[in-house]
C-alpha cells in the first residue's frame, strides 16, 4: 500500500502499547494512528483525545426530533380536524409518544451523520495490518525517513512484537 | 492477605466518628416521637397517623434501596462502586426499626386504612386487617431477612480482619459475624459465591414483595382504584431514593474521612448517571400508566391521577414532576454537573426531597377531603423518622468499617 512514510508497530499487550503511546506523545507526535481490536479505556486515556464533537450532533438531532414530533402531530390534528374519543384536537399526552420516538430516531440518525462527517474530515492514510482487527494493538506514526530509526528503537524498547518501516 | 486495614485511608474508614449522626438523630427522633404522641392523643389523631404512614414508606424505601444498590452492583459487576457500597449497605441498620414501625402502624390502622371501618365488599377477604397484616409482615420479614443476611456476609471478610484489633461490644459482634472465617482465598471465594446467590434472590424478592406492599399499603388507600403497574412504580421510586441518599452519604463521608483518593470522578460520574437514568425511568413508568388511563377515560381509573394533578393538589403534583424529573434531568445531563460535588449534591437532594413529596402525594389525597397541609405535626413526625434513620445509620457507621478495602482495591484496579 502506498501510504505516507512512517513506522508501524504491533503490540500484544495493552500495557506495552500504552507505554509506547505515551512515549510517542512525549516526543511531540500528535497525528499518529492507534488501532485496537476492541474498545479499551487505557488506550483511550493514553491517546487523550478531546471529547468527541459528535455528541453535539446527537443533542441537536434529538431536540430537532422532539420539536418535529410535536409540530407534526399538532399541525396534522388542526389541519384535518377529526375528534377522536372525545379528546381535544391538540392532545399532548399521546403526542409525547411520537415526539419521543422522533427524538430517538433523528438523534440516532444525526449521530451517524456526525460520525461520518467528522471521521471523513479527519481521515488520513495510515499503514494497517489485519491483526489489528484480531488480537493485536497497532500504532502507526507518520514520520520522515530520517526519524524512522529512532521510532523503531522506541517501539522495540516498549515491547512491540513487530515493527515495520513504511516508505 | 493480611494488613488490608494498614493503609491510612482504610484505617480512617474502619473507625469513623459518627457521634454527629447519633446526636442529631437522637434529638430529631425525640422531638418527632414526643410530637407524634401528643398529636395522637390530641383531637385529630388521624393527621399524625397519615404523615406517619408517608414517612414509614419513604424511609423504608431509602433503607432497602441502599442494600438493593449493593446487590445490583454485584449482579452487574459494577466494581466502580466498591469504595461506596458500604455507605449504601449501612441502610440495613434501619430495617429492624422499619419493621417495628410497621407493627406500630397497625395500632393506628383504623386511621390509615379506609377499609378497616368501611370494608370494601368488592375486594372480599383480601382487604381485611388480619390478611393484610400477616402477609405484609411476612413479606417484610422475608425481604429484610435476606437483605440483612446479604450485608452480614458482605461485612464478614472485613470484620474478620479487624476482629482482634477492636475492643468492647465490637469484639463480640465482630467475632460473631466472622465466625470461623479465615481470610484464605478459598474461604473468600466461598463467601463471594454466597453473596452472588443472595444478591439476585434479594432483587427478585424485593420486586415481588414490594409490589405487594405497594398494593396493600398504598393502593388500598383508594380501594376502588387499580393499576397493575403501581407496584413497579412504587419500588423503583424507592430504589431511586436509595441511590440519591447514597449520593448524599458519599459526599458526606468523602469529606468527613478525607477519602478523595478513593472516591473520585468515576464514582460521581457513574452514580450521577444512575440517578439520571432512574429519574427518567420513574417518569417513564408514571407516564406509561397515565397515558392509558387518560386515553381510556374511565372514571374509576382517572380519579386517582387526576385528583393529584388538578385542583387543590396541583401544586404538589407539579412540584413532584419538576423535582423528580425536570430539574434532575436538565441538571444531571451534563458531565461537569455530575462530577462537581456541589452540583451533584444539589440535584441529588432535589430529587430526594421530590420523592418525599411523591410519597406524600400517593398517600395523603386518598385519606383526606382537603388539600395539602404541611404544618408543625407533619414536620415533626418527618424529622422524627429522619432522626430514627440517622440514629440507626450512625450506629452502623460507628460499629462497622465504612469502606471495604477489598472492594475499594478492586475498583482502583479498574482505572489506575
Block residue for cell numbers 492477605:
B1
What is the H or E stretch that residue B309 is in?
helix B299-309
Q: Mind giving me the DSSP string for B180-248? A: T----HHHHHHHHHHHHHHHHHHHHHHHHHHHHHHHHHTGGGSTT---TTHHHHHHHHHHHHHHHHHHH
Count Cβ atoms below 10 Å from residue A104 Cβ, excluding itself.
13
Euclidean distance between CA atoms B278 and B281, whole angstroms: 5
Euclidean distance between CA atoms B94 and B279, whole angstroms: 24
Question: What confidence tens digit (pLDDT) does each residue in B159-198 have?
Answer: 988 888 888 888 889 999 988 888 888 999 999 999 999 9
Question: What confidence tens digit (pLDDT) does each residue in A89-143 have?
Answer: 989 999 999 999 999 999 999 999 999 999 888 777 888 888 999 999 999 998 8
Chain A residue with minimum CA distance to B413: A42
Question: What confidence tens digit (pLDDT) does each residue in B12-55 have?
Answer: 888 888 899 999 999 999 999 999 999 999 888 999 999 999 99
Q: Give the global pTM.
A: 0.88
Sorting pLDDT into bands at 50, 70 and 90, what band is B120?
confident
Asked if A41's CB is within 8 angstroms of B295's CB, the reply is no
Euclidean distance between CA atoms A126 and B284, whole angstroms: 46
Question: What confidence tens digit (pLDDT) does each residue in B244-273 have?
Answer: 999 999 999 999 988 888 898 889 999 999
Q: What is the pLDDT of residue B182?
A: 86
Residue to test with chain A: of B264, B284, B287, most A Cβ within 10 A = B287
- The single-letter DSSP state of residue A138 is E
Euclidean distance between CA atoms A98 and A90, whole angstroms: 13
Q: What is the pLDDT of residue B3?
A: 66
Would you say the C-alpha torsion B45, B46, B47, B49 has a positive or negative sign?
positive
CA angle, B266 then B270 then B273, to 5°: 145
Question: Do the domain assignments include residue B416?
Answer: no
The CA radius of gyration of chain A, in Å to the nearest whole number, is 25
Euclidean distance between CA atoms B240 and B65, whole angstroms: 7
Asked if A41's CB is within 8 angstroms of B291's CB, the reply is no
Indicate the number of domains in chain B. 1
Pairing between strand A6-11 and A137-142?
Answer: antiparallel
Domain boundaries, chain A: 6-49+126-166, 54-121
Asked if A86's CB is within 8 angstroms of B291's CB, the reply is no
Would you say the C-alpha torsion B245, B249, B389, B9 has a positive or negative sign?
positive
Asked if A86's CB is within 8 angstroms of B297's CB, the reply is yes
- What is the mean pLDDT of the segment spanning B54-63? 97
Chain B residue with minimum CA distance to A55: B334
Q: Is this prediction's ipTM beyond 0.85?
A: no
The CATH number corresponding to A6-49+126-166 among 3.40.50, 1.10.1200, 3.30.70, 1.10.10 equals: 3.30.70
Q: Which of residues 297-336 of B touch A (CB under 8 A)?
A: 297
Cβ(B71)–Cβ(B203) below 8 Å: yes
Half-sphere exposure of B244 (CA within 13 A, CB side): 31
Lookup: cell for B23: 446526636
Check pLDDT > 60 for residue B416: no
Burial tier of B176 (Cβ tally within 10 Å: 0-12, 13-18, 19+): exposed
Q: Does B294 touch chain A (CB under 8 A)?
A: yes
Asked if B291's CB is within 8 angstroms of A97's CB, the reply is yes
Check pLDDT > 50 for residue B382: yes
Q: Does A85 touch chain B (CB under 8 A)?
A: yes
Interacting residues of B217 by C-beta distance below 8 A, sequence separation 6+: B53, B57, B136
Interacting residues of B90 by C-beta distance below 8 A, sequence separation 6+: B66, B249, B393, B396, B397, B400, B402
- Beta bridge mates, A164: A8
Q: Which domain holds residue B166?
A: 4-404
- Beta bridge mates, A35: A138
- What is the mean pLDDT of the segment spanning B124-137? 91
Euclidean distance between CA atoms A65 and A61, whole angstroms: 6
Asked if A93's CB is within 8 angstroms of B294's CB, the reply is yes
Amino acid at each position: 500500500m502506498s501510504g505516507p512514510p512512517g513506522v508501524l508497530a504491533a503490540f500484544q499487550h495493552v500495557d506495552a502499547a500504552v507505554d509506547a503511546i505515551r512515549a510517542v506523545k512525549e516526543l511531540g507526535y500528535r497525528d499518529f494512528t492507534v488501532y485496537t481490536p476492541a474498545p479499551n479505556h487505557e488506550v483511550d486515556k493514553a491517546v487523550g483525545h478531546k471529547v468527541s464533537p459528535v455528541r453535539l450532533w446527537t443533542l441537536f438531532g434529538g431536540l430537532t426530533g422532539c420539536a418535529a414530533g410535536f409540530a407534526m402531530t399538532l399541525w396534522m390534528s388542526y389541519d384535518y380536524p377529526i375528534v377522536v374519543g372525545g379528546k381535544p384536537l391538540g392532545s399532548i399526552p399521546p403526542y409525547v409518544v411520537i415526539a419521543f420516538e422522533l427524538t430517538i430516531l433523528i438523534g440516532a440518525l444525526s449521530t451517524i451523520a456526525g460520525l461520518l462527517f467528522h471521521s471523513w474530515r479527519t481521515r488520513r492514510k495510515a499503514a494497517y495490518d489485519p491483526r489489528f482487527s484480531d488480537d493485536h494493538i497497532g500504532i502507526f506514526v507518520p514520520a520522515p525517513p530520517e526519524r524512522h530509526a529512532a521510532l523503531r528503537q522506541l517501539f522495540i524498547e516498549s515491547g512491540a512484537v513487530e515493527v515495520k518501516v513504511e516508505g | 492477605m493480611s494488613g488490608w486495614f494498614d493503609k491510612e485511608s482504610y484505617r480512617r474508614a474502619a473507625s469513623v466518628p459518627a457521634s454527629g449522626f447519633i446526636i442529631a438523630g437522637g434529638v430529631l427522633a425525640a422531638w418527632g416521637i414526643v410530637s407524634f404522641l401528643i398529636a395522637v392523643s390530641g383531637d385529630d389523631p388521624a393527621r399524625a397517623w397519615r404523615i406517619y404512614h408517608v414517612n414509614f414508606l419513604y424511609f423504608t424505601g431509602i433503607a432497602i434501596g441502599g442494600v438493593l444498590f449493593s446487590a445490583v452492583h454485584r449482579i452487574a459487576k459494577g466494581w466502580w462502586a466498591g469504595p461506596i457500597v458500604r455507605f449504601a449497605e449501612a441502610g440495613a441498620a434501619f430495617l429492624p426499626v422499619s419493621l417495628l414501625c410497621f407493627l406500630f402502624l397497625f395500632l393506628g390502622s383504623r386511621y390509615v386504612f379506609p377499609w378497616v371501618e368501611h370494608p370494601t365488599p368488592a375486594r372480599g377477604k383480601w382487604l381485611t386487617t388480619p390478611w393484610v397484616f400477616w402477609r405484609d409482615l411476612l413479606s417484610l420479614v422475608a425481604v429484610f431477612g435476606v437483605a440483612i443476611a446479604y450485608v452480614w456476609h458482605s461485612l464478614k471478610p472485613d470484620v474478620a480482619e479487624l476482629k482482634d484489633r477492636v475492643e468492647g461490644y465490637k469484639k463480640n459482634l465482630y467475632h460473631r459475624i466472622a465466625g470461623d472465617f479465615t481470610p484464605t482465598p478459598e474461604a473468600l471465594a466461598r463467601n463471594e459465591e454466597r453473596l452472588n446467590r443472595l444478591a439476585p434472590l434479594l432483587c427478585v424478592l424485593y420486586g415481588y414483595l414490594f409490589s405487594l406492599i405497594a398494593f396493600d399499603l398504598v393502593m388500598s388507600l383508594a380501594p376502588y382504584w387499580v393499576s397493575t403497574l403501581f407496584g413497579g412504580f412504587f419500588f423503583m421510586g424507592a430504589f431511586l431514593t436509595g441511590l440519591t441518599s447514597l449520593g448524599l452519604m458519599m459526599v458526606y463521608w468523602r469529606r468527613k474521612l478525607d477519602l478523595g483518593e478513593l472516591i473520585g470522578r468515576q464514582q460521581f460520574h457513574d452514580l450521577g448517571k444512575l440517578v439520571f437514568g432512574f429519574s427518567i425511568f420513574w417518569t417513564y413508568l408514571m407516564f406509561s400508566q397515565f397515558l392509558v388511563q387518560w386515553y381510556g377515560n374511565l372514571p374509576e381509573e382517572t380519579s386517582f391521577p387526576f385528583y393529584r394533578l388538578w385542583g387543590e393538589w396541583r401544586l404538589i403534583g407539579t412540584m413532584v414532576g419538576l423535582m423528580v424529573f425536570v430539574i434532575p434531568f436538565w441538571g444531571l445531563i451534563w458531565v461537569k454537573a455530575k462530577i462537581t460535588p456541589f452540583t451533584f449534591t444539589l440535584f441529588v437532594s432535589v430529587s430526594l426531597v421530590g420523592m418525599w413529596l411523591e410519597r406524600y402525594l400517593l398517600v395523603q389525597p386518598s385519606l383526606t377531603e382537603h388539600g395539602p397541609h404541611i404544618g408543625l405535626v407533619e414536620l415533626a413526625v418527618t424529622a422524627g423518622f429522619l432522626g430514627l434513620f440517622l440514629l440507626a445509620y450512625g450506629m452502623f457507621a460507628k460499629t462497622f468499617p465504612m469502606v471495604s478495602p477489598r472492594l475499594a482495591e478492586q475498583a482502583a484496579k479498574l482505572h489506575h
